[in-house]
Amino acid sequence: MPKITLIEYSGTSHSIDADAGKSLMQNALDNGVPGIDADCGGACACGTCHVFVDEEWMSASGEPGEMEEAMLGMRPDRTAQSRLSCQIEVTDELDGMLVRLPEFQM
Amino acid sequence: MSESALLPDAQAVPLAEMDISDPRLLEQDAWRPFFARLRREDPVHFQASSPFGPFWSITRFEDIVAVDSDYETFSSEPAIFIGDRPTDTPLTNFIAMDPPKHDLQRRAAQPVVAPQNLAEMEGLIRSRVIAILDGLPPGDTFDWVERVSINLTTQMLATLFDFPFEQRHKLTYWSDIAVGSPEMAGGSVGNEERLAGLEECLGAFTRLWHERKGREGGFDLISLLQRDPNTCDMVERPNEYLGNLLLLIVGGNDTTRNSISGGVLALNQNPAEYDKLRADPGLIPGMVSEIIRWQTPLAHMRRTATRDIEFRGKQIGKGDKVVMWYLSGNRDETAIDDADQFIIDRDNPRHHVSFGFGVHRCMGNRLAEMQLRILWEEIMQRFHTVEVVGEPERVRSNFVRGYRKLPVRLHPL
C-alpha cells in the first residue's frame, strides 16, 4: 500500500495507507482526512477536492486534463501545483507522495 | 396553459402531451410526480412543443452532471433558462457565456465571495441577523418571507455591492423584475415595467461606478471589477455591466431568500427533524446543505447543443435547447438515498446539484451556506419553534422555486 502524506492548512499532518487504483480524493475521504469536500463525488465537476502536490511528486502524479484545467482556473488560490485530487489515481509509484491542502474549498 | 385549466394527472397524461415547463407545476407544488415519471420512463426527454419552444429535459442526477460538465457540447449561450431573453435588452453576463471569456469575467467577480472575504463579513452578517431576529414580533402572525428572508438577503446584497443601505429595497425589486417576464420563465412582469426598472438599475449603478472610481481599496463587487484589467472598463459596455450586476443580484437574492424560507417550511413539515436540531444544534452545517438540496431554489439551468450528439441513446441536434432539471436531479433515488425525505443529518449532504457543476458552478455557494448557517445558529438561540401557521404562497415560474408569503408565529425559548 503506497503511503501518502496530506498536510492540512493548519499544519496538521495525516499519513495514510492508500489503496492503489482509487483516487487520492477517495483515499483521503476513506481515511477521514478533513479539508476535502468532494461535492460532486469525483466527476471533476465541482473543484472542492483541490490540493497542492509537492514539487517533487508533480511529474509522477500526472498532468491535469482539459476539464480539470477549467475547474482549477476558477480557483483564486490556484498555483502551478494545483490538482483536483479526484483526478489523481493512486499507484504504487506514488508511495511517499506529499500533498498540501488549501485554506478553503469553494 | 390557460389560467383556468387544471393541471393534468401526472400518471395519466401521455408523455408526449406533458408540459414540464408549465410554471404552475412549481406554483402549485405539483411537480414531484411529473419529474418522478420522467426520471423513471424517459430520463432524457424531448418535448416537441411548449410556450418556450421545443426542448430536451435531463432529469437524472448523473446525466445532469455530465451535461453541466461538458461546456463545449452544451453551451451556456445565449441564455440559461428555458425561455429566451427578450430581444429588447441584449444583456450579457458570464453565466450565459462560454470559456474563455466566461473565465475572465468570473475571475474578476469571484474574490467578493471567496472564503477570505467571507471571513471578514461574518461578524457583520451575524450582527444583522441578530437585529432582524430581535425585531420580530413574538406571539403575532407575520410573513417570514418579507420580515426575514427578503430583509436579510437584501442587506447582504447591499453589503456585496456597497450599495446605499437605505435604498437597498431597490435591489430586491430589480432582482424580481429581471427574471419575472413571461417569455423567460413563465412569470408575470410586464415588459414596460421590466424595461423601466432595468434602466433605473443601470443608471444607479453607473453613478456608483463613477463615484467609486479612483477610491482606494474596497472589496465590494464594483471596486473589484474596476481593479481587474479584464473588467476595468465594463461601464462602457452597459449591456455587459448591467448583465453582470443582475447576475449577482439575482444569484445572491432569490436563491438564498427562498432557501431561508424553505428551511422553515421543511422543518415544520418534518417535526422529527426539528426535534433533532433542537437536541443538537451542531447539526446546523449539514442541515444547511440539506435545506439547499431540498429547496433547490433554481429549478433548472438550460444549455444549447453546439453540435449533433447522441446522449444516453437519444439524438440531440445542434441548436436544441437542453434543460437540466436540478429540482429533479436532487430527488433522484439512484444518486441520493431517500431523496424525497428531508433528513438534516444525512450522510454526504453536500452531494446535491443545487449549485450546478462544471465551470458555471455557483460562485456564491459558500456565502449562501454561511448566511444560512448564521441565521439558524441565531434562530436556535432564541426560538423553540418558528411555526408555519398557514399555506405558503409560491412563485409562478419554471426557473425560480420560491415563496411569496410564508405566515409564521414565533415560540420563544
Task: Determine the distance from the C-alpha atom of residue B284 to the mean position of all C-alpha atoms in its chain, rounded to a whole number.
Answer: 21
Mean pLDDT across B61-76: 96
pLDDT above 90 covers a percentage of chain B that reads: 69
Question: Are the C-beta atoms of residues B159 and B253 closer than 8 Å to each other?
Answer: no
**pLDDT at B1 exceeding the cut of 50:** no
Q: What is the mean pLDDT of chain A?
A: 95
Q: How far is A95 from chain B (nearest CA, A)?
A: 29
Domains of chain A: 3-100 (3.10.20.30)
CB environment A73-96: b (16+ within 10 A), e (fewer): bbbeebeeebbbbbbbebeeebee
Which cell numbers in the block locate residue B274?
A: 426539528
| Cell 462602457 sits on residue | B236
Percent of chain B scored above 70 by pLDDT? 96
Q: How far is CA B276 from the centre of its chain?
A: 27
Lowest mean pLDDT among B60-74, B153-167, B217-231, B252-266: B217-231
Indicate whether B356 pLDDT > 50.
yes
Contact A43 B366 (CB under 8 A): no
Q: Do residue A43 and residue B107 have CB atoms under 8 angstroms apart?
A: no
Cα-based distances in Å from B142 to B145, B408, B410: 9, 6, 9
The CA distance from A103 to the nearest CA of chain B, in Å, is 9
- Residue B306: Cβ within 10 Å count: 16
The CATH T-level fold of domain B15-412 is Cytochrome p450 (1.10.630)
B393-394 and B403-405 strand pairing:
antiparallel
Range from A69-73, B36-40, B106-110, B178-182 carrying the lowest mean pLDDT: B178-182
Confidence of residue A34 (pLDDT cuts 50, 70, 90): very high
Chain A positions touching B68 (Cβ under 8 A) are: 45
Kindly tell me if the per-residue pLDDT of A23 is higher than 50: yes
Distance from CA of B111 to the nearest CA of A (A): 7
Read off the pLDDT of residues B189-211 as tens digits, 9 standing for 90 and up. Answer: 778 888 889 899 999 999 999 99
- The band of B2, judged by pLDDT with boundaries at 50, 70 and 90, is very low
The residue-averaged pLDDT of A57-79 equals 92
Per-residue pLDDT at B225: 87
What's the rounded mean pLDDT across residues B247-269?
Answer: 92
Q: Is B92 helix (H, G, I), strand (E, B) or coil?
A: coil
Burial group, residue B272, by CB count within 10 angstroms (0-12, 13-18, 19+): exposed
**Higher per-residue pLDDT: A55 or B181:** A55
The CA-CA-CA angle for residues A33, A39, A42, to 5°, reads 80
CA distance B198 to B181: 12
Q: Write the ipTM.
A: 0.90
By a Cβ cutoff of 8 Å, what residues of chain A touch chain B? 37-41, 43-48, 67, 70-71, 73-74, 76, 103-104, 106
Task: Tell me if A106 and B114 make a contact (CB, 8 A cut-off).
Answer: yes
The Cα–Cα gap between B250 and B240 comes to: 15
User: DSSP state, A26?
Assistant: H
Identify the H or E element spanning B410: strand B407-412
Residue A14's nearest CA partner among A98, A104, A106 is A98
Residue B189, amino acid: V
Q: What average pLDDT does range B298-325 have in this prediction?
A: 97
Residue of A nearest to B335 (CA): A41
pTM comes to: 0.92
